[in-house]
Structure 1
Amino acid sequence: MNIRPATSDDAHDIALVHVRAWQQAYRGLMPQSVLDELSIAEREAGWARLLSETPRASQTIVVERDGRVAGWASYGEARDADAPGSGELWGIYAHPDAWSTGVGHALITAVEDALRSDGHETAYLWVLEGNTRAATFYERHGWASDGARKVDERPGLVLHELRQVKRLA
């Protein structure tokens, strides 16, 4: 496996992983119609814009396996007002074909190392309520719920999320 910074050339592959991971991981946790309507092309356009921004609020890395992008993660400064000085794992996804192959472990370890190198002693992430596969993955890597909850409202969708934190130092 090769982990490297994402570039705008990765926009399609990141979008493909993003959509396929959502469609598999969130089945039964959000309306199927929302999952069915996810567009790789729309996500690709968004990723292309984000990855060409300078400076960017977050960093994105990809992991390649057998020469193909198998997963990605974005991280940076905390976005929540009650977590100043913390780092945040903004998003982490592996293609369903790469689940349980070490891709997620490689990504989360790389993000933790990067946040630690950036001087963060703690970090947090948000996990969709009911996504026990992801919550268990994070717990195996030393992340734990701090009891914080939030509601993320999107067109036609209300997501309930739980915060997990980890001491990095």
Structure 2
Amino acid sequence: MTAPLEVRDGRAEDADDVARIHVRSWQTAYRGLIDQDVLDSLSIPDRAANWRRFIAEPLPTGLGILVAVRDDRILGWASFGSGRDEDGTADGEIYGIYADPDAWSTGVGHALLMTAAERIMDAGHTRAYLWVLDGNDRADAFYARHGWELDGATKVDERPNLTLKEHRRVKVLAG
């Protein structure tokens, strides 16, 4: 019998697991969409240090990071908060949702998405958005099944040695 899935707030001691999932999911989901050398160079220790800083920062109530846990093992995470886009299309944002590839299609992403949306609403936002890497058909299908609609917005996120082309999905959460 499978143990129940728990979604809870992330803690500093979760940073290594969050980083591991972040790197593994990028290396699996983005294969063929991002240069393989970039994917191969991703560092779990570097990501863990960044996550420790993020988790330790005091955040407004209801905003932050969630982890999904089963049998004392972190299987996925979601980060969320106030929207960062300047066009005012929506006021809450899901910054990222990632599940360990071994936990795909087990309800981890669903639980994280639903809980993050609830937290965004609890913080007073009635709408939210998220960005999806162009070509990430699995993520697009997942978000579409959950009612997140394309709104036509696109962006190019330039990073060192990496260009990410993304499209936005939005959802009315309340109102």
Which range, TM-score by smaller chain? over 0.9
Among 21, 28, 33, the alignment partner of 1:29 is 33
Runs of 4+ more than 6 Å apart: none
Would the alpha carbon gap of residues 131 and 85 (structure 1) be closer, same or farther in structure 2, given more than 3 Å must change?
closer
Among 81, 85, 88, the alignment partner of 2:86 is 81
Alpha-carbon distance in 2 for matches of 1:131, 1:85: 22
1:8-29 per-residue CA deviation (whole Å, 9 max, x = no partner) reads 1100000000000000000000
Which consecutive unaligned segments of at least 5 residues does structure 2 have?
Answer: none
- Number of the residue aligned with 1:17: 21
Among 98, 102, 112, the alignment partner of 2:103 is 98
CA displacement at 1:66 relative to structure 2? 1.9
Alpha-carbon distance in 2 for matches of 1:85, 1:14: 27
Q: Kindly indicate whether the alpha-carbon contact (under 8 Å) linking 2:67 and 2:76 is maintained by their aligned counterparts in 1.
A: yes
- Number of the residue aligned with 2:142: 137
Q: Kindly indicate whether the alpha-carbon contact (under 8 Å) linking 1:143 and 1:164 is maintained by their aligned counterparts in 2.
A: yes
Would the alpha carbon gap of residues 166 and 84 (structure 1) be closer, same or farther in structure 2, given more than 3 Å must change?
closer
Mapped pair 1:51 → 2:67: no
- Number of the residue aligned with 1:122: 127
- Number of the residue aligned with 1:6: 10
Alpha-carbon distance in 1 for matches of 2:88, 2:70: 34
Q: Structure 1 vs Structure 2: percent identity of aligned residues? A: 54
Structure-1-length-normalised TM-score: 0.96
- Number of the residue aligned with 1:149: 154
Which consecutive unaligned segments of at least 5 residues does structure 1 have?
Answer: none
Alpha-carbon distance in 2 for matches of 1:164, 1:104: 16
RMSD: 1.4
Q: Which amino acid is 2:6 matched to?
A: N
Q: Kindly indicate whether the alpha-carbon contact (under 8 Å) linking 1:71 and 1:95 is maintained by their aligned counterparts in 2.
A: yes
Mapped pair 1:168 → 2:148: no
State how many pairs are aligned. 169
CA displacement at 1:137 relative to structure 2? 0.3
CA displacement at 1:84 relative to structure 2? 6.5
